[in-house]
Every structure is written in C-alpha cells, then in structure tokens.
Structure 1
Amino acid sequence: MNRSGRLLSVLCLATSGGLAWSTLLEFRHGPLWAGFLFAAASLVPVIGVVRESVVTDLCRAAAEPCVPGGPSGPGGPSGPSGPGADAIVREELDGACCERWWTSLGSDHDATCRHRVPRSSAA
C-alpha cells in the first residue's frame, strides 16, 4: 500500500473510532436507535479499509512478474500481464451481461441475455 493509501486507511480507522465512541455515548445517554445508527456507521470505514487492502493485494499480485518455469509453467506470460492480471480481467468480464450491455453503458441487453428486461409495448 502506498503512502496515500495508508493515510486514507488511518483516517478511516480514526473516523471509525470516533463513531464507536459516539456509539458508546449514545447507548449511555441518548436514544437507543441513535446508538444502533452510530454502531452501523462505525463499521462502514472499516469495510473501506478492508476493501482498500484487498484492492492493493490484487494490484500487487497483478504486477508480479512470472518467471519461465514458475507457477504458470515454461514459456508462460511474464511481466504485468501475468496470471494476476488475467484473473482480474476474467472476473470483470464474467460480471458483464452481454456485449450490447458493455457498448450501451448498461442500458440495453442482447436478445439472448438472461438479464434482458422485456420492453413494454405501451406507447
């Protein structure tokens, strides 16, 4: 993780700590619903830190060069387009519906797409 990522993580954890403190104060002196609201809100920055570390790990894995005879076998890919990058691209492509969905910015589907929404004939 680079310096800005670490700074963002520290700020998120500090925010989460402040919200956790507010949770305790609300449970002691405030309405119960506000305590639960602050408890839920204190988890959101922690989720952001976890996601940032996962993205960093994926980027680091994608940037690792593969050596010939290594995990991808002899003559396998090398450089930043190794198996880590292939896994990321494969996951993104599997998440897409169809080609028309990609080209129409998610507003239209192919006729054979399982996510196709039937259009109304009412004008």
Structure 2
Amino acid sequence: MNRSAGLLSALYLATSTGLAWTAVHALRHDPPWAACLLAAASLVPVIAVVRESVLGDQRRALAEMLGRAAGPDRPGARAADDVVRAELDTACCERWWTSCGTDHDSACPRRVPRSSAA
C-alpha cells in the first residue's frame, strides 16, 4: 500500500471510529433507530479500507504481469500478438470495421442480404 492509500485508509478508520463512538453515545441518549443508523454508517468506511487494499493488490499483480510481458521475446508479448492477429483474422471487411459490425462491403463473403419481407 502506498503512502496516499495508507493515509486514506487511516482517515477511513478514524471516521469509522468516530461514527461508532457516536452510535454508542446515541444508544445511551437517543432513540434506538438513530444508534442503528450510525452503527451501519460506521461500517461503510471499513468497507472502503478493504476496497483500498484490494485495489493495491490488483495494482501489484498488474505491475508484475506487465513486468513479465515487457520484452519482445517474452511469452506475454507473443500472446498479445496472437490475440490481435486472431481478432484481425475474424474481421470481415473495411465497412464492417467502420460500422461497428453492422454493415458489410458488397463483395464481402459474409454479407447477409437484407429482405424486405416481414
């Protein structure tokens, strides 16, 4: 976890602690529904801390994957080239690309003639 994520997590935990303390205070002096509402609100920053840690783990995993596939002679680079080549091979024609797959050139073998019959 980097410094800004750690600072943000500390702020989240401080907010959660403050809301929990307010919930306890509300339980003693206010209606029970207010205490329940504040107790539920104190869980939201805890969820945010968990989310920050998950995002940090995902960033580290992505950095490792990019590090492994960085070189042109690495297997990750070949896999990316294979994916792009397969996508290009499945394309029909120029008009299909420019119309987002809704129209075909007149000479395209995959063109399906449209019928006016309902």
Q: Tell me which amino acid in the other structure corresponds to 2:38.
A: F
Counterparts of residues 1-123 of structure 1 (less than 5 Å) = 1-64=1-64, 65-66=67-68, 75-77=74-76
Q: CA RMSD in A?
A: 2.5
Percent identity between the two aligned chains? 57
Identify, as 1 or 2, the structure richer in helix.
2
Shift of 1:76: 2.1
Shift of 1:2: 1.1
Q: Deviations over 1:31-84 (max 9, x none)?
A: 1010000001000000111001101100100001238xxxxxxx4216xx9xxx
Count of residues in correspondence between the two structures: 75
Q: Tell me which amino acid in the other structure corresponds to 1:77.
A: G
Matched residues in 1 for 2:28 and 2:75: separation? 61
**TM-score computed with the length of structure 2 as normaliser:** 0.57
Matched residues in 1 for 2:42 and 2:75: separation? 45
Segments of structure 1 that go 5 or more residues without pairing to the other structure are 68-74, 82-102, 104-109, 111-123
Structure with max Cα Rg = 2
Matched residues in 2 for 1:45 and 1:76: separation? 41
**TM-score computed with the length of structure 1 as normaliser:** 0.55
Structure 1 residue ranges, 4+ long, deviating more than 6 angstroms after superposition: none
